[in-house]
Amino acid sequence: MRHITNNEHWDCIVAGSGPAGLGAAVACARLGAKVMILEAAGQPGGTICAVPFMPVNRLRIHGKLRSEVHEAFVQSLLSFGKAACYPGPEDSVNGDGFCPQPEYAELAIYQLLEQEGIELKLFSPVVDAVTENGAIREIIVREKQGMIHYRAKLFIDATGDGDLAAAAGCGFWEGKSEETVDPSIAMNADFMLRTQDIQEKSIHMPITLGFSLIGIEEGPFFTWMGKNTSSFKKILGKEDEKGRYIAAWYAFNHGTAPGVMGVNNGAWIHQKLTSSGLNSSDLTDARRNGVRVAADLAAILRENGIPGCECCALDRVGGILGVRDTRRIEGEYTLTFENTQESAEFKDTVARKYGAIDANQLFMGKMDSGFAYPYRSLLPVAVDNLLVTGRCASATFLGHSAGKSMGNMMELGCAAGTAAGLCLKESVLPRNLDIDKLRNTLKEQFQVKL
C-alpha cells in the first residue's frame, strides 16, 4: 500500500470523536492549540450517535452547568430545536442528560467543531504509530489514498478501544478484572433474561446494535410497559422458544417525532459470552444478530397486541455498533472499584464521575456526589507524548464501569485536552505538567467542579 506523509503541522491530534474525543479536542483548542480529530467511522460522536434517543447522561450536574466544554456541546444541540433532542430521565442512574436524534447530534457536533476551529476527518482509522525514544513520532492512518503519516506534538487516544496507545506499544487489560462487589448494592435485574450466564461467564459487556421503531402510540405503550414488566418478560421467553432473536433487556426512549421510539438493549441473548469488540468476527455477529433483534422486536410487539404497537415497524438501526468495553490502557494509576466505594480523593483529581456502576448489571455505589478521577489514569506508562482518555483510560473493569456514561467521559476528555493544551504552551511532557496549574485551569477557565 502507498505510504504518504502529510506535512501539515498539528499541535495535537485526537483519535476518536466520541464524548471523550470531543471534550479533549474542544478543551485543547480553547487553549490555543491547532487540533485535528481523526475518526475511524463515517460519522462523528461515537456512542452519542449509535443508539437513537439514548440519553447522553450527566451533561450537567443537578441541572446546572457541568463545564464550559459540556455546555458548548449542549448549546450546539439545543440550537437545532425540539427536533434535535429533549431532556433525559431524571434518576440517580441517568440524570442531567439529553436524548438526541442521531442526525441532529451529528449536525451539532459539526457545528461545535467548526465554531471551535477544530478539523475533523471521518473515515480515518488510526492503524499504527511510529515511536522513537518512548514518544510517538508519527501516526499512520488508513485512508483511501493509502497509509497517511501524520505528525503532531501531542496525541490523545480517545478511540475507546485504545487503538493508538496499543499500536504505540502501551500495555493494556481487557475484560473483567478480579473484583468482587457486595451483592447488597446490586439493583434488581429481574427484567433481564438469562442474567446468570451473562453476569457470571461473560468476559466483556455485550456489544449492542441500537435501533428505533416507528408507528408506536407512546402513551398506551409506556403505560402498559410500566405496569407489565413480568408479562413482557414471559412474552419474550415464549418468543425465544419459537426462535425469535431476543435481547437480554430493552430500554425504550420516545423520539422527537410522533410515533418514533429508540431502543437500547442488552444484545442478543445468544451472543457468545466471549464476544470482543476487537474481533471482527464477533463484531460481524453482533451486527447481523442485532439487526435481527431489531426486526423481531417490532414483530413481537405488534403480534402480541402490546398496546400502542398495532402499527409498529422497524425504523432504522444505529450507524455504528455500541461497544461497551475493550482495552484499558495501563496508566500511572489504575482506578479501581474500591476507589469508587471509599470515595478516594487524589491530589491530582482532574474529573469526577457520577451515576451508577453500570457493568451491564447496575450497582449503586457511593457515587451520588461524584467520585474523583486522577490525572495519572490518563498518563500511559509506556509513551511520553500521549494521553489516553474516555473508556480506554487506566481503570479496572468496574473502576471504568463506575460512571461510564457520556457526560463523565466528556469530562475525562476535557481533562486530557486541557492537559495537552497546557503542555503545548509550556513545552513540557504530560507527565511533567504542574498539577495545580492543570486543576486551576480546569476550575477557572472551564468551570469544572473538582
Ligand X SMILES: Cc1cc2nc3c(=O)[nH]c(=O)nc-3n(C[C@H](O)[C@H](O)[C@H](O)COP(=O)(O)OP(=O)(O)OC[C@H]3O[C@@H](n4cnc5c(N)ncnc54)[C@H](O)[C@@H]3O)c2cc1C
Interacting residues toward ligand X by CB under 6 A: 15-21, 38-41, 46-47, 51, 54-57, 125-126, 158-161, 163, 208, 264, 322-324, 390-391, 404-406, 409
Nearer to ligand X, 123 or 304 (CB): 123
Nearer to ligand X, 230 or 284 (CB): 284
Nearer to ligand X, 306 or 329 (CB): 329
CB of 430 vs ligand X, minimal distance in Å:
18
Nearer to ligand X, 21 or 255 (CB): 21
Alpha helices in 228-373 (DSSP H): 229-241, 280-303, 337-341
Q: How many Å apart are CA 156 and CA 168, to the nearest integer?
A: 12
Nearer to ligand X, 17 or 256 (CB): 17
Phi, psi angle pair for 337, to nearest 5°: -60, -40
Nearer to ligand X, 125 or 307 (CB): 125
Nearer to ligand X, 404 or 439 (CB): 404
Q: How many Å apart are CA 272 and CA 282, to the nearest integer?
A: 8
Contact partners, residue 111, CB within 8 Å, separation at least 6: 76, 79
Q: Are 30 and 425 within 8 A, CB to CB?
A: no
Nearer to ligand X, 163 or 282 (CB): 163
Contact partners, residue 412, CB within 8 Å, separation at least 6: 20, 23, 351, 373, 378, 389, 390, 393
CB of 207 vs ligand X, minimal distance in Å:
8
SS3 content of the chain, % helix, strand, coil (to 5): 35, 25, 40
CB of 295 vs ligand X, minimal distance in Å:
18
Nearer to ligand X, 21 or 331 (CB): 21
CB of 42 vs ligand X, minimal distance in Å:
9
Give the single-character DSSP code of 402.
B
Residue whose C-alpha cell reads 468482587 in the numeric block: 180
Please give the C-alpha separations between residue 65 and each of 62, 90, 274, 385, in angstroms, as whole numbers.
8, 16, 40, 31
CB of 115 vs ligand X, minimal distance in Å:
20
Give the single-character DSSP code of 146.
E
CB of 161 vs ligand X, minimal distance in Å:
5
Q: How far is CA 282 from the centre of its chain?
A: 19
Q: How far is CA 271 from the centre of its chain?
A: 21
CB of 241 vs ligand X, minimal distance in Å:
26
CB of 234 vs ligand X, minimal distance in Å:
25
Name the grid cell of 56.
447522553
Compute the radius of gyration of the chain from its Cα atoms: 21
- Closest by CA to 331, choosing from 372, 376, 375, is 376
Q: Are 423 and 154 within 8 A, CB to CB?
A: yes
CB of 426 vs ligand X, minimal distance in Å:
26
Residue whose C-alpha cell reads 442521531 in the numeric block: 102
Sequential DSSP letters for 202-223: -SSPPPB--EEEES--HHHHHH
CB of 217 vs ligand X, minimal distance in Å:
24
Nearer to ligand X, 52 or 374 (CB): 52
CB of 229 vs ligand X, minimal distance in Å:
19
- The angle subtended at Cα 103 by Cα 18 and Cα 79, nearest 5°, is 90
- The angle subtended at Cα 361 by Cα 180 and Cα 101, nearest 5°, is 140
Q: How many Å apart are CA 282 and CA 288, to the nearest integer?
A: 10
Nearer to ligand X, 55 or 380 (CB): 55
